[in-house]
Amino acid sequence: MKISEIYSSGNDDGIAFTLLALVGLLFVVIFSFCKNKIIYVIFAMTYLLVSTLISWWTESNSFTNLLYTSIYHCQNNYLLIFVLGQVLFWLLSICFIKNSNDVYE
């Protein structure tokens, strides 16, 4: 099912990006309270699953092609900042999982 089928409109790839940003903001609040590695990994995998499902809802040929076109040809700098933030989040998550001590509270 595509987002345009839910809202009965045309190409709504912008709604998918907005929904990704809102899900990211929701998970920021959740991640800020995670001190245990196991709970953090569970929420990180849930976030990855939800964001992947949202990216599959786009109507474009491929999500990476849509990102490239939006950033390079349309000069959508906010999307570039969002993608760089996602990469930074996953790199810092890997560092947190590898280097932190478990805190059970």
Q: Is residue 6 part of a domain?
A: no
Read off the pLDDT of residues 60-75 as tens digits, 9 standing for 90 and up: 667 777 778 888 888 8
Q: Is residue 105 part of a domain?
A: no
Torsion of CA 23, 26, 28, 33, to 10 degrees: -140
Q: Between these two residues, 5 and 31, which has the higher pLDDT value?
A: 31
Do the beta carbons of residue 24 and residue 16 sit within 8 Å? no
Residue with tokens 């491929």: 62
Question: What is the span of the domain harbouring residue 90?
Answer: 11-99
Asked if pLDDT for residue 8 goes beyond 50, the answer is: no
* pLDDT of 84: 92
- For the chain, what is the domain count? 1
Q: Is residue 45 part of a domain?
A: yes
Q: Is residue 4 part of a domain?
A: no
Closest CA to 38 of 102, 105, 81: 102
Do the beta carbons of residue 67 and residue 60 sit within 8 Å? no
Q: Is residue 49 part of a domain?
A: yes
Among 7-21, 35-49, 73-87, the range scoring the smallest mean pLDDT is 7-21
* pLDDT of 26: 93
Q: Is residue 26 part of a domain?
A: yes
Q: Is residue 27 part of a domain?
A: yes
Q: Is residue 76 part of a domain?
A: yes
Asked if pLDDT for residue 102 goes beyond 90, the answer is: no
Long-range contacts for 16-20 (Cβ within 8 Å, ≥24 apart)? 16/54, 16/55, 16/57, 16/58, 17/79, 17/82, 19/54, 20/51, 20/54, 20/55, 20/82
**pLDDT band, residue 104 (cuts 50/70/90):** low
